[in-house]
Amino acid sequence: MGRRMQPIWLQGMGAGRRRTPFGDSFLGPSQGPRHSGTRLVMARSGDPVRRLLAIYTGGTIGMRNQDGILVPGSNLFTALKKLPMFNDEEYSREHQLPEDTLALPLTDHNQRIIYTILEYDPLFDSSDMTINEWIRIAKDIERNYEQYFGFVIIHGTDTMAFASSMLSFILGNLQKTVILTGAQVPIHTLWNDGRENLLGSLLMAGQYVIPEVCLFFQNQLYRGNRVTKVDSQRFAAFCSPNLPPLANVGADITVNHDIILKASMNKQLVVHSNMERNVGVLRLYPGITSAMVKAFLQAPMKGVVMETFGTGNGPTNPDLLWELKKATERGIVIVNCTHCLQGSVTSNYAAGMALSGIGIVPGSDMTSEAALAKLSYVLGRDDLDLQYKSKLLTKNLRGEMTPLSEDFQISLRDSKFVQLIANLLYLNCSHDLDAVRDSLTPTLACAAARMGDMETLEAIFELGGDLSESDFDGRTPLHMAARGGHVGTVQYLLRNGAKVNSCDGDRNSPLLIAVKGRHRDVIQLLKDAGAHLSPQELQGAGTELCRLAASGDRDGLIAWQQAGVDLFQTGYDGQTPLQVAEAAGNQELVSLLREHRIGTRSDIL
């Protein structure tokens, strides 16, 4: 018997070897080709294999013709096994690949890519896909995240732009390549686009680290939340009207490195499965009546993408505007997107201004698919209040929109400056900047919290920053928000992992800082979240209370009491605050403290 090799699929990534995708991301000049002057986001060659998971959900690509009708077709694996471009038979045999796994022939750069097919049962025409199926895909990616280098999702084209938009929001902190693809003509027919699309997707996902949800079709790799289906039959079925492709595949591959999102380093993949289902799309048309709009906006509707004319205009009919206004007042979030294929909503026209004046959120240059997905994601975030959700919708979260130009008009004293720096660090940096980012993040977050700037905190959090980390003085964003008395920010931080009793370099807890600032609402929030003053903080409390009593500082005393401190302890000289107030002749305070002592006015203090 000849010597048997260890199956190759047990080596490399599959054997549990961990690597940070970005550790391997950039191909230097000596390591391989550069294409068209762009820096490649390419996996370093020389690794024995790259393993991919191909999730087959259905769609025309695998369909079979039954009596002249196309129906979803199972067993894509067997079809691919017969095609040499998808199956290096000799290699598979020699390396004993498992039943559901195939190897591509070696790439031009000697990269071996093997892929496992996970076939859904039942398979779907994509017209039947819903948020439930997209969450299922995301969970399958999560379950298999460590074992695979990248992921290809084989999906019907009809709703693929919705799927790629939804998945871009469902999958948080993505560090690996996820590519959706499919076909206009089944892979089993002689002349089809399925082979090229699938092969291209496997090659891109197996060779490049592009930490985004992408869509590959007709030699172009697009950002998934920027695409829309524009042709029901031609092979060039998709376009990305407001963002160039991330990569073009021809004789050469050109990767548009500058626009590829930066991965959130050191963050775990998060599947946001709490997507709001009660969202919809309302396309305005000339003469639409207020009664129709009213009917559309009834419960259970929670969020609506409203497709408007041109740069975001709609009829100025007062009845219709009234219905929209009533809906926004009821808490329905409406995002204004243009029904034009290309371009952005602006506020150039009076008709557009009328819409923005009634609480409708401008959608910039988002596609309707992306806006719907974003609404579903943002409205599903139970940790945010409604006002903040509306604000978040105007922010660029996953590269789905070009930020509004006002976001770039910053000054050094403006909180937008902090936000811009955070964005630059997270979205555009090379890995040399990772260390800079890690050391600057707590400082940026503290600066934002000090200003009560929840937008920036949310941006930092969304981009993968940890909001519980302390700056060089040991202060956390919660300390800073408590100092500023920013109730909403404190609430937000507590919901997003802030440690309620952490102490800064001076051993002050957020609660003590709030007490000193007399921020009663913040004190209450912190107490409700389990905050307490430490023994060190309580040590000098008696003396501090006497000092407050001497200066007649009623609010100061109330703040200490609210934090759970007994007002009748003694100061350094054995006197109580009541005795000090008596000695100072402060009758109002004396009577308040007396009543407090006998229990009748404890509510006042």
Q: Minimum distance between the CB of residue 120 and ligand ASN, rounded to whole angstroms?
A: 12
CB closer to ligand ASN out of 40 and 215: 215
Q: Is 59 in the site for ligand ASN (CB under 6 A)?
A: yes
Q: How many residues bind ligand ASN (CB under 6 A)?
A: 11
- Angle, nearest 10°, between helix axes 160-170 and 131-143? 50
- Angle, nearest 10°, between helix axes 454-462 and 386-393? 60
Q: Minimum distance between the CB of residue 161 and ligand ASN, rounded to whole angstroms?
A: 11
CB closer to ligand ASN out of 133 and 400: 133
Stretch that binds ligand ASN, among 153-161, 278-286, 308-316, 404-412 (CB under 6 A): 153-161
Q: Minimum distance between the CB of residue 70 and ligand ASN, rounded to whole angstroms?
A: 7
CB closer to ligand ASN out of 234 and 326: 234
Q: What is the spatial distance between Cα 318 and Cα 335, in angstroms, rounded to a whole number? A: 19
* Letter string b/e over residues 565-580, b meaning 16 or more CB atoms within 10 A of that residue's CB: bebeeebeeebbbbbb
CB closer to ligand ASN out of 149 and 162: 162
Of these, 168, 184, 336, 344, which contacts ligand ASN (CB under 6 A)? 184
Of these, 87, 111, 126, 201, which contacts ligand ASN (CB under 6 A)? 126
**For 135, phi and psi rounded to 5 degrees?**
-70, -40
Cβ(456)–Cβ(449) below 8 Å: no
Residue 406 burial (10 A CB sphere; 0-12, 13-18, 19+) = exposed
Sheet holding 333-338, edge to edge: 279-283, 303-308, 333-338, 361-362
Based on its alpha-carbon atoms, the radius of gyration of the chain, rounded to whole angstroms, reads 30
Q: Cα 520–522–523 angle (5° rounding)? A: 65
Long-range contacts for 187-196 (Cβ within 8 Å, ≥24 apart)? 187/61, 187/62, 187/76, 187/79, 187/80, 188/64, 188/73, 188/79, 193/218, 193/235, 194/60, 194/61, 194/62, 195/83, 195/85, 195/86
Reading phi first (left if > 0) and then psi (alpha if -120 to 50, else beta), residue 418 is in: alpha
Alpha-helical (H) ranges within 452-569 are 454-462, 477-484, 487-495, 510-517, 520-528, 535-539, 541-550, 554-562
In the residue annotation, 441 being an active-site residue is answered as: no
Cβ(326)–Cβ(299) below 8 Å: no
Q: Minimum distance between the CB of residue 308 and ligand ASN, rounded to whole angstroms?
A: 27
- Angle, nearest 10°, between helix axes 587-597 and 554-562? 20
Selecting among 101, 116, 157, 441, the annotated active-site residue is 157
Q: Which residues between 185 and 204 bind ligand ASN (CB under 6 A)?
A: none
126 is in an annotated binding site: yes
CB closer to ligand ASN out of 193 and 453: 193
Of these, 125, 434, 438, 521, which contacts ligand ASN (CB under 6 A)? 125
Stretch that binds ligand ASN, among 16-24, 138-146, 151-159, 376-384 (CB under 6 A): 151-159
Helix, coil or strand: residue 16: coil
Stretch that binds ligand ASN, among 53-61, 137-145, 417-425, 436-444 (CB under 6 A): 53-61
CB closer to ligand ASN out of 78 and 233: 233
CB closer to ligand ASN out of 227 and 529: 227
In the residue annotation, 157 being an active-site residue is answered as: yes
Q: Minimum distance between the CB of residue 369 and ligand ASN, rounded to whole angstroms?
A: 14
CB closer to ligand ASN out of 134 and 560: 134
Q: Minimum distance between the CB of residue 279 and ligand ASN, rounded to whole angstroms?
A: 21
Q: Minimum distance between the CB of residue 134 and ligand ASN, rounded to whole angstroms?
A: 14
Q: Which residues between 434 and 453 bind ligand ASN (CB under 6 A)?
A: none
**For 426, phi and psi rounded to 5 degrees?**
-85, -35
158 is in an annotated binding site: yes
Give the strand pairing for 101-103 and 113-124: antiparallel
Give every CB contact of residue 570 below 8 A, 6+ residues apart in sequence.
Answer: 542, 546, 576
Q: Is 60 in the site for ligand ASN (CB under 6 A)?
A: yes
**For 100, phi and psi rounded to 5 degrees?**
-100, 15
Q: Is 182 in the site for ligand ASN (CB under 6 A)?
A: yes
CB closer to ligand ASN out of 60 and 396: 60
CB closer to ligand ASN out of 60 and 92: 60
Selecting among 57, 60, 116, 367, the annotated active-site residue is 60
Stretch that binds ligand ASN, among 45-53, 125-133, 196-204, 365-373 (CB under 6 A): 125-133
Q: Minimum distance between the CB of residue 119 and ligand ASN, rounded to whole angstroms?
A: 15
Question: What track of x and - describes contact with ligand ASN for positions 77 through 116 (by CB under 6 A)?
Answer: ----------------------------------------
Q: What is the spatial distance between Cα 37 and Cα 255, in angstroms, rounded to a whole number? A: 9
157 is in an annotated binding site: yes
Question: What track of x and - describes contact with ligand ASN for positions 230 through 259 (by CB under 6 A)?
Answer: ------------------------------
Give every CB contact of residue 553 below 8 A, 6+ residues apart in sequence.
Answer: none
Position 297, amino acid: L
Reported as type and span, the H/E element at residue 239 is strand 238-239
Q: Is 157 in the site for ligand ASN (CB under 6 A)?
A: yes
Token code pair at residue 147: 């074992």
Position 515, amino acid: V
Stretch that binds ligand ASN, among 120-128, 267-275, 331-339, 360-368 (CB under 6 A): 120-128
Alpha-helical (H) ranges within 395-467 are 415-427, 434-451, 454-462
Q: Is 156 in the site for ligand ASN (CB under 6 A)?
A: yes
Stretch that binds ligand ASN, among 56-64, 100-108, 276-284, 351-359 (CB under 6 A): 56-64
Long-range contacts for 595-601 (Cβ within 8 Å, ≥24 apart)? 596/567, 597/568
Give every CB contact of residue 272 below 8 A, 6+ residues apart in sequence.
Answer: 169, 170, 171, 172, 377, 380, 381
Residue nearest to ligand ASN (CB): 156
Q: Which residues between 317 and 376 bind ligand ASN (CB under 6 A)?
A: none
Stretch that binds ligand ASN, among 150-158, 290-298, 463-471, 495-503 (CB under 6 A): 150-158
The catalytic residue positions are 60, 157
Residues forming the site for ligand ASN (CB under 6 A)? 58-60, 125-127, 156-158, 182, 184
Known binding positions for substrate:
126, 157-158
